[in-house]
Structure formats: C-alpha cells, structure tokens
Amino acid sequence: MMVFMSIALTGRYLAPDPSLATLPLALVPVAMTITTIPAAQMMRRLGRRAGFQLAAVLGVTGAVTCVVALWTEQFAGLCAGGFLIGSVNGFATYYRFAASEAAPEEYRSRAISLVMAGGVIAAFVGAAMATATKDLNPSAPFLGTFAAIAGIQALILVVVSFSRLPMPSDTEKQDGGRPLRQLVGRPTFVLAVLGAVASWGLMSLLMNATPLSMDRHHHSFDDTAQVIQWHVLGMYVPSFFTGSLIRRVGERPILFLGIALIGLSTALNLLGIDVVHYLAGLAVLGVGWNFLFIASTTILTGTYAGEGEKAKVQSMNDFLIFSTMIVATFSAGVLENKIGWFGLNQAAAGVVVVVTVLLAMLCWQERRGIAKLRSVTSDSQDN
C-alpha cells in the first residue's frame, strides 16, 4: 500500500519526461509476474521460510535503492528499486498457500481468508505511515516513506527467520509429480484458475478506471479517495468470515456468489455517475473479488499432491493472475478514454456473463467426472 501511494508521485518528481512518471510503478507488477515461477521452484527445494527470507532481503534492498535514488535524484535508480520491490510480491503471494499448508485440511479456507484479511491492516497502517513519513526530508519527498518500507521489510525478515514452516522432505524435493499438461487439463484446475484470473482481471479493470472516470466527471480527489477506501474495505474485511462461509456451504457456492456480486457492481456503476454510485459499485466489487478469489484459491489447493505438483500449479496460477492484472491495469485507461465509463462497465458485464457460463460448465464436467469414477469403482467392486 505504501509503495503504490508513493512511487508514482516520486516518479513524477524524478522522471526526465512526464510520460515516464508511472514507469517505476508499472515495473512492480511486471517484476511480480516474472518472479512468480522461480519463487515457487526455489521454495519447492529450500522451503517456504528460505523463500520469504529472500523476499524480505529483496524488499530491504529495493527500498534502500529507492532512498538512494531520491537522495541523488536518479530516475533509473527509482525504476530499479521499484523492480526489486515488485519481486518481493512474487514471493509474498505464496503466504496464503503457506497458511493453508500449515493448517488442518478443514481449516484451509479460514487460514487463506485470514491471510487476506491482513489487507485491512495494510490499507490503514500503510496510508497512515505514508502520510507521516512523506515529509521527513523536505528536500526529497517520500524518502522517509521508502526508509520506513526498508524497516518493515527488515522486521519481516526477523519474524520469518523465527517462524516454523514445514520443510519439504528429500523425497518431495525429487518428486516432480504429474506433468503440468496433465494437471491443467482437469476441470477442477481450470475452474480454480479461471475464477482467480477473472477476480483479479475484472477488479483491476474497474478499480483502475474509477479514478479516471471520477476525475472526468469533476469529482474531488477526496471523494475518489473515499471510494477507493471503501473498495479496499470491501476487498479485505469479508476475509474475517469468508473462510467460515466456505466451510459451511462449500467453495463453489461462494465462487458463484462472488462472480454474481462483481456483475452486480457493474450494474450499480451503470446507474449513474454520482459519488454514491461509484462508492456502492466499488464496495460491492471488492466483496465479489474477495469471495471469488478466496473460493478459487481454496479449490486450487485440492488439485495437486506433493511439492513438485504444488510448485507447478501454484506458480502457473499466479503467473496467469498477474499477467491478466497487468493487461487489465494498462487497458483500464485506454478503455475509459475510448469507450467511456458506461461502455467499459457494459463490456465488463459481458465478461461476467461469459465467465459465469464457463464456470457452470466446468462444475458440470466435475460432477460428470465424479459420477463416472464412482460408476467405474462400483463396477470393479461388483466384479
């Protein structure tokens, strides 16, 4: 949160050309996507703790690089720091999987949702720290913010170093499991990945287009900040009970509830351009993202066995998520400018319909496959 609030503004301050102001910010998701697969393979061999330790070291290095860049007014250094900080997220995305692996099977969904609930703390603490540290050095705005980020990453390194996370056995390290092409061909895998990709893609598209649309329709920055804050709350507050809901009714009903809420958010956005319309639409979008993403992640944890398969499946899932997020983020500005806020939401609603149909078809294929397996098992027992 602190990075996203500060790096674009520092980019504007240091960029040799105003059009390059968001380049350091754009490098964050790019680095995250590039790092995802190597991070999974490293943790497969060395364990989660080693991976999270390396991530913290990268975080400290990236933040310090940004501090030096601001002190010396070097735009290239800021870009390098942004890339290193983005690499941290390529590792950090596996925290939710680490939580599910450390918890009993019946509590996996709750463990995942509680990790996601940390976003609530990040939303408020990050904003407060960014504001408090922005002007610690008046000659270099946000230098203090990046120094604080370095301190936080150093603290994470200490905490992770004393954590107890399961280590892969020698057998698990050597076992590559089933080929990836065999794993990705299963309806359950496609269901989980499609849900996760849709949640991030649609959320990124609508969220990033909102400030642009609100500015176009002459709403104040304070109003825009309030709308985004309610969106973030919608994304993370439900995490305190999403896991319990999944335990009671199952992953798939929550998955469909999530995509339905995202569809509802596009309908609310189409009702008008007053602040209340943006606020209601973005808040509902956040809740829909939460339900769809956590349900999809929980389903994904049941599609692999062993360290080899786990690394393949998790890294492929997150690589596709982040790639989609990059495309959606860059498309938001183009679409909002070309077809407008209402056209963008109509297009998003069409995507929601298509995704819903595909998810329903995949659930049907799952059930048919289970029924076929039961039939074969019953026949073999009779014989």
What are the average pLDDT values for consecutive 10-residue runs of the chain, which has 383 residues? 66 76 79 87 85 94 94 92 91 82 74 74 71 79 88 92 75 63 81 94 89 84 79 86 88 95 96 92 95 92 75 84 84 84 95 96 84 55 52
pLDDT of residue 371: 62
pTM score, whole prediction: 0.74
Rounded to an integer, what distance in angstroms lies between the CA atom of residue 148 and that of residue 135?
Answer: 12
pLDDT at residue 268, rounded to an integer:
96
Q: Which residues are CB-contacts of 220 (< 8 A; sequence separation ≥ 6)?
A: none
Q: Which residues of 105-127 are buried (b: 16+ CB within 10 A; e: fewer)?
A: eebbbbbbbbbbbebbeebeebb
Q: What pLDDT was estimated at residue 307?
A: 64
- Residue 305 has what pLDDT? 72
**Calpha distance 95→73 (Å, rounded):** 34
3-state DSSP of 301-342: CCCCCHHHHHHHHHHHHHHHHHHHHHHHHHHHHHHHHHCHHH
- Indicate if the alpha-carbon torsion angle 163, 313, 297, 26 is positive or negative: positive
* Model pLDDT, residue 123: 65
Determine whether domain 1-167 maps to CATH 3.10.450.50.
no
pLDDT at residue 272, as a whole number = 92
CB-based contacts of 266: which residues, under 8 Å, 6+ apart? 206, 281, 345, 346, 348, 349, 352
pLDDT of residue 312: 81
**CA 187 to the chain's CA centroid:** 23
Domain with CATH 1.20.1250.20 in the chain: 1-167, 169-374
**pLDDT value of residue 173:** 57
CATH number among 1.20.1250.20, 3.40.50.300, 3.40.50.460, 1.20.1630.10, domain 169-374: 1.20.1250.20
Which pLDDT value is given to residue 127?
65
- How far apart (Å, rounded) are the C-alpha atoms in residues 204 and 282? 11
The predicted pLDDT at position 276 comes to: 93
